[in-house]
Each structure stands twice: as structure tokens, then as C-alpha cells.
Structure 1
């Protein structure tokens, strides 16, 4: 199981994938908003989204798990 984590604290601005979606390494999966900047979070591995642990509008801290990929 691979986990995608937040690289910094911020708000989840947009969730780009849902459980069951296939993702490729380097694909944007979530957009965080922090200090009025949009920060794309990318998949580090290819696979299938098992679980999205956040919703749009949620606040996350650095290293919080956002998505699990199998």
C-alpha cells in the first residue's frame, strides 16, 4: 500500500481522483491551497486509488495521509 501525504499544511482545494480510479506516477491527484497558492500533489507510483482520506475544504497538516494507492 502506498500513501500520498501532504507536503505542507493547507486546505484541500480540489480532489482530482476517486476510489477505483487508475493513476499514473506523476499524475496530479489533489490540489492544496496554502498562502493563496495552489500546490499540486502528485502520485509517486502508478496504481489504483484505494481510499481518499480527505474532502474538499478539509484542513490538513504536513505529512497527513491524503490518498492510499494499491
Structure 2
């Protein structure tokens, strides 16, 4: 699935397109991805190097159960809302949960239609990128 975002950095606006991939790293969509990102200048690189990096969140407990076909966390963050429960029927691109990362709320959506089989996370739980979130059967 191709998504477009408008990002403002230091007063300059950039249009960025992202492409969703599956667990095997294969593109889910066939549309090409192009990102309008300026080249990093020496000044920008030195400014970025001087910024403190945030501390890494505590790792989430290991998921128990069958994590086959589970949606994986796209980034580290904290689960702030669960929008479904086991047994719910979901459609493709339906929001399943909200993940807060770097003070931004990011909706995690269903990759395909089905039934929620298992939820591997709880509200207010910290997750790392790649951790299983929800399995859709």
C-alpha cells in the first residue's frame, strides 16, 4: 500500500511516499516509491550529530502464542490504544491500534481482511520494531 506524507523540516516541505512491505520484505504494492528527500549537507549532518539521541524504550515481554501471520511493529513505541479485540472481523486497512513514537500517534492498520486471532500487546506496553502486535486469521 502506497502512502504519501508531507513533512516539514527546518521550514522546508517535502513530499514523501512510503510503501508497505510484508514480513519477507516483498512489496505489497506494485507502484514505484519515490521520496523527495534533499541530500544531507555537511552543516545538516553536523547539526544532526549534535542532537541528543533519545534513550531506547524498555523491551516488551516476549509474545506467547502463534505469531505466524502477525502484524509486526513498524517502529519502536508505546501502544496507546487498542481498537479491536480477539474475534473481531476486520477489513483491509482498518485501524487496529495506535502506536505512539516520538510524540506522534501512528495507526497500525490491517494488512488484509480477516478475524483478529490474538493480540500480543497491552495498552501502555512498549514495543520494539519487529515485535508481533496482532495476528489476523
Q: Above 0.5 in TM-score?
A: yes
- Of 109, 112, 122 in structure 2, the residue corresponding to residue 45 of structure 1 is 112
Q: Which runs of 5+ in 2 are unaligned?
A: 1-67
Please give the TM-score of this superposition, normalised by the length of structure 1: 0.96
How many residues in Structure 1 have an aligned counterpart in Structure 2?
70
Residue 2 of structure 1 deviates from its aligned partner by 2.4
Structure in which a larger fraction of residues adopt helix: 2
Determine if the alignment matches structure 1 residue 60 to structure 2 residue 97.
no
Provide runs of 4+ in structure 1 moved above 4 Å: none
Structure 2 residue 74 is the aligned partner of structure 1 residue 7: yes
TM-score (norm 2): 0.50
| Structure (1 or 2) with the larger CA radius of gyration | 2
Structure showing greater relative contact order (alpha-carbon pairs closer than 8 Å, 6 or more residues apart):
1
